[in-house]
Amino acid sequence: MVLVAGKNGDALTALYDRYSRFVYSISWRMLGQKHLAEEITLDVFERVWFRADAFQPEKGQLKSWIARLTRNLSIDRIRHEKIRPEMTAVSWADWFQELGSRHSSPELAVTRTLQADRVQLAIQELPGEQQEALAYAFFGGYSHQEIANLLDLPLGTVKTRLRLAMKKLAFLLFDEELG
Amino acid sequence: MTEFEAIKELLPGYVLGTLDPAERMRVREFLDACRGCREEIAHLTAVTERILETAVELDPAPALRGRLQERIGQPAPAAAPARPKAAAPEPAGGFWAPLWSFFGRPAVQLGMAVLLIALIAANFLLWRAQERPGNHAINERGMQALAVQGTADTPEASGFILISADGQSGALVADNLPGLAPGTAYQVWLAIDEAGVLESGGLFQVDENGYGGLGLQATRPLSEFTRIGVTVEPESGSSGPTGLKVLGRDLP
């Protein structure tokens, strides 16, 4: 990233070769459209190029930063283009659906599969209404109020469901008891 | 409800990006004075990242690489390197660091470590090009690597199935499989003949050398299955084998 911040094109190309499939996959899953996923992929690496100094290694790994960036830009696009779940139909089942993915090695394929299994099991342990609210928030970028309107629920109920869902996931995935 | 309690209620929405601008500003202003809130945000952020990391990896169009260079005003790069046959280098922290963070619980860590060590061992066995099929004990815990042979249609293909000592989980690594047509994938099938059970163990692709693999997915312990096979199927998978069988064997 130091090289990218110094505007070294080869460094950005190397970064692209390493993470473009990851970025494309997240955006494709969230947006459900190939051309939009490609646009987001370009947006992410353009942002990395021009804002490399925004990455703070002490706050986490580069891959995590890129993942957050990808989700945020995807949600911005969903809001801007007014893409809504009835169009992208993103659900937890969609997210975890296997599509004969290509991994750079069987070792990574194994780790990815097992990691996904664990996350999927954790999601499945959430009550259905929490899964639903979390899917709207996570994939759709809906606000609390929008989710409340969509599900015809009081605003406080939506906040509670999201909080309980995230707390339980933190416990199931990291053994973290959040207050 | 105190301000602290109200802010805590908003933290998941802050991380998920579901707060309205006023709520977001309210949380942001509170964070400087609330170390516990910042720690909770870090944990919640880790949850979202963990979910994002499970995205099934798909290939973007090759032309996208050139379009990026155009956008940033850099000269077009050389073609992307061929996908490596061994594990690709990982970002900061190396291959093992994210692996250990994936599986935080000690029991899971142990099982994963054994599985990954076995997978590497299986690659070594593949490299050694064993002359005859058989079962190979990988370690003292009784983990097994079972050689899998190609079929009459794919005599050059070979591979290993790795089954954990408790029989609960495993992986498949294969080599010299035929290249796949666009829109297709290899699908693993697990069967219990006497019970009439047949289920998918997952989908995978191979590189230009026909090398690939996956962690096997099954609804019951792998040790209960009596047969494994691999066929060519549509990339979204089939409910039963329909295409060319490329690998297979009976399970002990």
Q: Determine the pLDDT at residue A143.
A: 87
Longest Cα–Cα distance of chain B, Å, equals 73
Q: How confident is the model at residue B98 (pLDDT cuts 50, 70, 90)?
A: very low
Task: Give the Cα separation of B115 and A84 in Å (integer).
Answer: 41
ipTM > 0.85 for the complex: yes
Contact A13 B69 (CB under 8 A): yes
Q: Which of A19, A166, A168, A177 to mutate to test the interface with B (most CBs of B within 10 A)?
A: A166
pLDDT given at position A106 = 64
Spacing of C-alpha B2 from chain mean position? 44
Q: Which of B176, B169, B177, B173 is nearest to B160 (CA)?
A: B173
Contacts with B217 from chain A: Cβ below 8 Å: 113, 117
Mean pLDDT calculated for residue range B85-113: 40
Q: CA-to-CA distance for B176 and A177, rounded, in angstroms? A: 47
Tell me, what's the pLDDT at B93? 37
**Using CB atoms, which residue from B18, B104, B184 is nearest to A137?**
B18
Residue B170 corresponds to which tokens in the numbers above? Answer: 């495993």
Q: Compare CB distances from B92 to A17, A62, A169 and report the shortest one's residue.
A: A62
pLDDT digits (tens, 9 = 90+) for A65-118: 899 899 999 988 888 776 655 544 468 887 877 655 555 566 666 666 777 778
pLDDT at residue B89 is higher than 70: no
Tell if the CB–CB gap between B19 and A173 is shorter than 8 Å.
Answer: no
A31 to chain B, any CB pair closer than 8 A? The answer is no
Give the residue from B16, B209, B231 with the most A CB atoms within 10 Å of its CB, the best one to mutate.
B16
Q: Which of B64, B169, B237 sits opposite A98 (nearest CB)?
A: B237
Per-residue pLDDT tens over the stretch A14-57: 889 888 988 998 998 888 788 899 999 999 999 988 888 888 77
Mean pLDDT throughout B182-211?
A: 89
Predicted TM-score (pTM) of the model is 0.62
Residue A86, both tokens: 């009835």
Set of chain B residues whose Cβ sits within 8 Å of the Cβ of A112:
54, 56-57, 215
